[in-house]
A = this chain, B = another copy of it.
Amino acid sequence: MIVQIPKDSDFSIHNLPYGIFSIGNGPKKIGVAIGDHLIDFSACVENGIFSNVPLQVVNTGVLNDFIALGKKITNEVRSKLKELILDNNSWLKTYPELILKQSEVEMHLPVHIGDYTDFYSSLEHATNVGVMFRDPEKALLPNWRHIPVGYHGRSSSIVISGTEIHRPCGQTLPKDSDIPIYGESKRLDFELETAFIIGKESKLGHPVKTNEALDYIFGMVLFNDWSARDIQKWEYVPLGPFLGKNFASHISAWVVPIEALEIFQVEGPKQDPQVLPYLQFEGNKNYDIQLEVAIKPENCEEKIVSRSNFKFMYWNMEQQLAHHTVNGCNIKVGDLMGSGTISGKEESSYGSMLELSWAGSKTIAMADGTERKFLNDYDTVIMRGHGEKDGVRVGFGEVIGKILPALKNE
């Protein structure tokens, strides 16, 4: 092994996720994480180690052109990287400058995201929201068990882990009033999600079938879909969430190849009633990936407020993609598809403050004795996720976002 990999590292030899990094004012390059280090993949290509990778695809500042080479090549790269890292006499040893510490580089958005879609695929989350805001007797809407419900989100405001964001302002409707007011959101929330990144484009008019879907999925990230619940509540009927969501979303820096997650495939929840043929699939298509969310108030230790699992999802990624394209909608390399909030059955596994505080009717204690119903200014939200099986650990690292006070725009 060319570097020491700490026990319990998300970035084991079985992972090898890709990201975009820079050093100082240097160019954006492709890196591959290993333990606490990363390998300067762009430089490896420049040095001729990956003859199947054209130089121009590793110097664009995003992964899109590399990903677009296709799975045959990216999987060859993956195998070769594994060899290089495991080999004590590796060529890499003669170029120690190509092995960097993650703590010494700056990470950037891994892909240019053309379109971003967010699904709503957790039965427990959809049910909780329905119970709180609609009729507890009819919490799930009639279409929910037939359609992996989704909607389009905003690409421009998706930012890399670590970026600080401002509390959003907007219109809300005060209780017992029918006149809206302008002001800061008072119900700022996170949503615990994963997202997958498209690795192969489809043609307009041509659906992707469930049994082809994996070929179109390059990899996965963690995703925090920030939500301003009070803005969302006033605006979302009839055309869906807009300003309550599009002020920012955070993604984790390292894109974990879907192949690295295959070992964690498990059976999903039984789907009842049976879904239409275009949504049927074969095999285990859920993934056992443990997830957690922590809130860290300013100058205080973090407190883990949710422990969930990606395996809870009712609709799987193959179904999401088959549904998204069944009408001929085309997808492009770099498109991002969010899972929707991932909640489990237990209260401790709910993936948003909306659910954890049950619409503000309960409080969550922080390590410093303060309490939260929603998020305060200067709170940092940290999400983590990893799979672990048979001694193999593959994880996403963290997605971190800190909330700064609203900007005054008078």
Measured CB to CB, the closest approach of chain B to A16, in angstroms, equals 29
Contact with B along A204-248 (1 / 0, CB 8 A): 111101000000000000000000100100111111111100111
Across-interface contacts of A207 in B (CB, < 8 A): 169, 409
* Residues of A288-334 whose CB lies within 8 A of B: 323-324, 326-332
7 nearest interchain CB pairs? A240-B240, A168-B327, A152-B152, A151-B239, A239-B240, A247-B327, A243-B327
Across-interface contacts of A153 in B (CB, < 8 A): 152
Instruction: Tell me, in angstroms, the Cα distance from A205 to B236 when the chains sit together.
Output: 21
Instruction: Tell me, in angstroms, the Cα distance from A151 to B234 when the chains sit together.
Output: 14
Instruction: Tell me, in angstroms, the Cα distance from A159 to B204 when the chains sit together.
Output: 10
Known: A114-B155, A182-B277, A327-B228. A204 touches B240 (CB 8 A): no
Q: Report whether B169 and A327 are in contact in the complex, using a CB–CB cutoff of 8 Å.
A: yes
Question: Closest chain B residue to A146 by CB distance?
Answer: B180
Measured CB to CB, the closest approach of chain B to A188, in angstroms, equals 11
Q: Report whether A180 and B329 are in contact in the complex, using a CB–CB cutoff of 8 Å.
A: no
Q: Report whether A327 and B170 are in contact in the complex, using a CB–CB cutoff of 8 Å.
A: yes
Instruction: Tell me, in angstroms, the Cα distance from A180 to B145 when the chains sit together.
Output: 11
Instruction: Tell me, in angstroms, the Cα distance from A206 to B408 when the chains sit together.
Output: 9
Q: Report whether B327 and A143 are in contact in the complex, using a CB–CB cutoff of 8 Å.
A: no
Across-interface contacts of A80 in B (CB, < 8 A): none
Known: A146-B180, A155-B114, A234-B143. A239 touches B328 (CB 8 A): no
Known: A171-B147, A178-B142, A277-B182. A407 touches B206 (CB 8 A): yes
Interface: A165 (CB within 8 A)? yes
Interface of A is mostly: loop
Q: Report whether B238 and A328 are in contact in the complex, using a CB–CB cutoff of 8 Å.
A: no
Interface: A335 (CB within 8 A)? yes
A-side interface residues, number (CB < 8 Å): 67
Known: A180-B146, A180-B276. A154 touches B115 (CB 8 A): yes
Instruction: Tell me, in angstroms, the Cα distance from A277 to B407 when the chains sit together.
Output: 17
Contact with B along A149-182 (1 / 0, CB 8 A): 1111111110100000110111101000011111
Q: Report whether A329 and B246 are in contact in the complex, using a CB–CB cutoff of 8 Å.
A: yes
Q: Which of B156, B248, B276, B323 contacts A114 (CB 8 A)?
A: B156
Q: Report whether B170 and A326 are in contact in the complex, using a CB–CB cutoff of 8 Å.
A: yes
Interface: A91 (CB within 8 A)? no
Question: Closest chain B residue to A204 by CB distance?
Answer: B157
Across-interface contacts of A326 in B (CB, < 8 A): 169-171, 182, 243, 409
What are 25 A-B interface contacts by the 8 Å CB criterion?
A: A114-B114, A114-B155, A143-B171, A143-B237, A149-B235, A149-B239, A151-B239, A152-B153, A152-B154, A152-B242, A152-B246, A156-B204, A156-B329, A159-B204, A165-B328, A166-B205, A166-B328, A169-B326, A179-B273, A237-B238, A238-B240, A243-B323, A243-B324, A243-B329, A246-B329
